[in-house]
Chain A
């Protein structure tokens, strides 16, 4: 990092329990409808949900060759994803023509006007393995990690991206931005997007107007799986601290890039593989080595802790961790004291 990024006073943070995600994309739409319906950002998803194993969104995002960081945490040249082949163009449709042809002999059916090459959820539910032996997949909802050492901030020659002092939210100053897209290129999570109409970068703002009012981001509030926790990292009474620091079951995605993500995941447990005769084995369907490629070595103790606590709960013993993850009282998923609202110029 060449820029001096002052440590924020507090860091707002999110934990997502992947064991509960249904892949419903409610979060995606909640976010999109709120922030991202402009023509130049129609293809972009500040919040996206991927099926993994899979190519991710944008396609190739988990391939170390696309991000601007080496797996040792150094800088390397990344890739600006292509609209057709990596993001997927926001196809437009021909509803009017289709309706007009209802009585005609040649019927026109609703379909994309553009050539379809890829889309934000294109390999949904594809996964890997053979039915019924070891077929598997899980959903990975992703948003900007509001990193402690953000590659996007580091990449901008105009210093147009900054981390807010109050809560560590990483924001693009679109008045400063000249649309050079080094941030898009550098972020290994590909969570800065380019508004190709306004020609500036855009990214997740962690719903900051809501955060200032003490309301969790739309993706978290609307999640029917109740799998998202929102709060401040230093709040020892809050769910973030408990899951990240105390129980150590919530771990960052791709820690190898060294950006210090502030979004954490509870890794997915999975039912056993079957052997050739169809008998359940002791091995989980989602290979732990695959999870390690996403979450690093910390996935092992995290899974062990989860399995141990789940077993306790099954034996009828108390488990603070399981109670927290079950989210009996969903309002407790969010601990966000309202703040004096900053007036943004």
Chain B
């Protein structure tokens, strides 16, 4: 057909394109790629075709490959072809949360009560903007969802001082150079080019800081344990800090490198609520069974005391109001006033704050007293349904199965995509550049060099991340030291003995781990359960020293339908599962990571 500018273009329905795209993917072809028998694939396909309610449980672990997007898009495609999305007992169960609006209110609230909640609203959106978007909704130019999504995006990208880990890493030229080297040839242009373009276009805004940070303040995390290539993080960022503080219930590796550790109370030493993904629609409460050990305190109290002290100092020094992260002025002289809701929250008032959180649409009727009795309580709705992580079921009231996405199926609201429909097609210029308009198969790139084993990890059963990872009681249920799981056949071939030390190596150097034989491991894979602390390894260097953590440049794309950035939404992660390693018996040779390459 002819466009307005006179150009001739050929038009084809997406469905036709999709069919064409899938044509070469016969069972035989899939068998070749996967190594599975055709018969297995056929059995699965038949099962899928016959299934009344196919459901895919796809959790965090499904996002740890360079090409996880393609895998997830494939799962969604299979579900969409079955019409399974947004249907009871079927569909995609990912990491959607029941949205506790009370939680975000309590976090941002600087005054108690209704005045506080209104303030929250106006801190993310001006009255003028609010008026306009109400008008948009009333005039039906936008759905309520679209309007709120917009407001939320604005808040996340232009108000909240937040950024993603990859952004922090890539900010450092040294780190970025290492990753660019690693990812050479993986994309049409170098990684840095996408990074720069995304920033120019405001797709992936990052934090527009005025200067480099001087203080690394860590709470509820263990970054030096967790970051990929921590040697780069250390050399290029941490070593430049003037102060490092760790607020933590445990003595972490990050804490070991901090100037100060503020000991936080452990679980069962402080009250708290935990909320979780949609397929377990319950709020969990943990009570303080025993008082905090020694000098440790509830984090709420630590920050209460700390903010009071900072406010005192700021007043004493008459600190000016300044814009630290480029997202608006911050007045340290009112820090504690704001933290304590103008003095309404005292040092020990963590539970009062919890009560505030329980003022959520999804927790109607729940009280702390009640939760103390029952430990758990079923949600009463899916919440405000604003966040991208939320569930989009406006009807569910705590009874029966929580089916997600019914807003778009039963209620026929447009899907929050470019076309307003379920779509398998993305023609964002970068996706076109990568030839990823449709989900397809791409081979896992060899991160860390061309070595025979793929180094794959999983959440551990003996710990929650690094919490309890070095607890003697849990270590006794393993073998006391970090282990690499290998298939017995592979082990025999290489001459690895069960429980012996092995040297795990790739282009970044080597580390030492204990060999564990297991029939669950596919030949050619070296498996590890994650989150060992680096100081559980010789030289205090964990496997993380070997994992570059590839970045998919497409995750920095934006401004296209559902491809839009925000915390916990569409943002780059670092893919660890593509890492390649070699394994050889350890016979006393020196091991260690190679020095950080200077730029």
Give every chain A residue within 8 A of B485 (Cβ-Cβ).
Answer: 125
* Cβ distance B231 to chain A, nearest Cβ, rounded Å: 14
Whether B539 and A90, one on each chain, are in contact in the complex, defined by CB atoms closer than 8 angstroms, is: no
| Residues 237-272 of chain A, each 1 if its beta carbon lies under 8 Å from chain B, else 0 | 000000000000000000000000000000000000
* Cβ distance B532 to chain A, nearest Cβ, rounded Å: 9
> Is A88 an interface residue when CB atoms closer than 8 A count as contact?
yes
* Cβ distance A113 to chain B, nearest Cβ, rounded Å: 10
Give every chain A residue within 8 A of B472 (Cβ-Cβ).
Answer: 90-93
Give every chain A residue within 8 A of B39 (Cβ-Cβ).
Answer: 277-280
| Residues 117-138 of chain A, each 1 if its beta carbon lies under 8 Å from chain B, else 0 | 0011110111111111001110
Selecting from B17-25, B62-70, B515-523, the interface stretch reads B515-523
Give every chain B residue within 8 A of A92 (Cβ-Cβ).
Answer: 472
What bracket does the count of chain A residues touching chain B fall in?
A: 35 or more
In chain B, what residue has the closest Cβ to A134? B519
Give every chain A residue within 8 A of B40 (Cβ-Cβ).
Answer: 274, 278-280
> Is B461 an interface residue when CB atoms closer than 8 A count as contact?
yes
Whether A93 and B475, one on each chain, are in contact in the complex, defined by CB atoms closer than 8 angstroms, is: yes
Whether B475 and A129, one on each chain, are in contact in the complex, defined by CB atoms closer than 8 angstroms, is: no
Selecting from A8-16, A104-112, A144-152, A179-187, the interface stretch reads A104-112
Whether B519 and A95, one on each chain, are in contact in the complex, defined by CB atoms closer than 8 angstroms, is: no
The residue in B480, B536, B537 that gathers the most chain A C-beta atoms within 10 A of its C-beta is B480
The residue in A110, A128, A135, A277 that gathers the most chain B C-beta atoms within 10 A of its C-beta is A110
Whether B540 and A109, one on each chain, are in contact in the complex, defined by CB atoms closer than 8 angstroms, is: yes
> Is B538 an interface residue when CB atoms closer than 8 A count as contact?
yes
Contact (A109, B522) CB under 8 Å given A32-B473, A116-B479, A121-B478: no
* Cβ distance A303 to chain B, nearest Cβ, rounded Å: 22
In the complex, what distance in Å separates the CA atom of A116 from the CA atom of B522?
A: 27
Give every chain A residue within 8 A of B520 (Cβ-Cβ).
Answer: 125, 127, 131, 135, 137
Whether A131 and B476, one on each chain, are in contact in the complex, defined by CB atoms closer than 8 angstroms, is: no
In the complex, what distance in Å separates the CA atom of A24 from the CA atom of B464?
A: 12
In chain B, what residue has the closest Cβ to A95? B470
In chain A, what residue has the closest Cβ to B539? A107
In chain B, what residue has the closest Cβ to A93? B472
Whether B476 and A99, one on each chain, are in contact in the complex, defined by CB atoms closer than 8 angstroms, is: no
| Residues 3-44 of chain B, each 1 if its beta carbon lies under 8 Å from chain A, else 0 | 000000000000000000000000000000000110110010
Whether A23 and B540, one on each chain, are in contact in the complex, defined by CB atoms closer than 8 angstroms, is: no
Whether A126 and B257, one on each chain, are in contact in the complex, defined by CB atoms closer than 8 angstroms, is: no
Whether B461 and A107, one on each chain, are in contact in the complex, defined by CB atoms closer than 8 angstroms, is: no
In the complex, what distance in Å separates the CA atom of A125 from the CA atom of B476?
A: 15
* Cβ distance B31 to chain A, nearest Cβ, rounded Å: 9
* Cβ distance A15 to chain B, nearest Cβ, rounded Å: 23
Contact of B519 among A107, A131, A274 (CB under 8 A): A131
| Residues 495-532 of chain B, each 1 if its beta carbon lies under 8 Å from chain A, else 0 | 00001000000000000000011111111000000000
Residues of B444-488 contacting chain A, CB below 8 A = 461-462, 470, 472-481, 485, 487-488
Give every chain A residue within 8 A of B473 (Cβ-Cβ).
Answer: 29, 32-33
Whether A278 and B535, one on each chain, are in contact in the complex, defined by CB atoms closer than 8 angstroms, is: no
Whether A135 and B477, one on each chain, are in contact in the complex, defined by CB atoms closer than 8 angstroms, is: no
> Is A25 an interface residue when CB atoms closer than 8 A count as contact?
yes
Contact (A25, B462) CB under 8 Å given A93-B480, A119-B479, A280-B43: yes
Give every chain B residue within 8 A of A131 (Cβ-Cβ).
Answer: 487, 489, 519-523
In the complex, what distance in Å separates the CA atom of A91 from the CA atom of B485?
A: 21
Whether A111 and B481, one on each chain, are in contact in the complex, defined by CB atoms closer than 8 angstroms, is: yes
Whether A99 and B256, one on each chain, are in contact in the complex, defined by CB atoms closer than 8 angstroms, is: yes
| Residues 60-103 of chain A, each 1 if its beta carbon lies under 8 Å from chain B, else 0 | 00000000000000000000000000001011110100110110
In the complex, what distance in Å separates the CA atom of A33 from the CA atom of B267?
A: 15
Contact of B477 among A121, A128, A132, A137 (CB under 8 A): A121
> Is B246 an interface residue when CB atoms closer than 8 A count as contact?
no
In the complex, what distance in Å separates the CA atom of A295 from the CA atom of B546?
A: 46
In the complex, what distance in Å separates the CA atom of A29 from the CA atom of B536?
A: 22
Whether A126 and B517, one on each chain, are in contact in the complex, defined by CB atoms closer than 8 angstroms, is: yes
Residues of A23-67 contacting chain B, CB below 8 A = 23-25, 28-29, 32-33
In the complex, what distance in Å separates the CA atom of A119 from the CA atom of B480?
A: 9
Residues of B35-61 contacting chain A, CB below 8 A = 36-37, 39-40, 43
16 A-B contacts, Cβ less than 8 Å apart? A22-B461, A24-B461, A95-B251, A99-B535, A101-B540, A102-B257, A109-B536, A109-B537, A110-B533, A112-B475, A112-B480, A124-B477, A126-B518, A129-B519, A132-B522, A274-B37
Top 10 nearest A-B pairs (CB, nearest first) are A278-B37, A135-B519, A127-B519, A112-B480, A279-B39, A102-B256, A125-B518, A121-B477, A107-B540, A110-B536
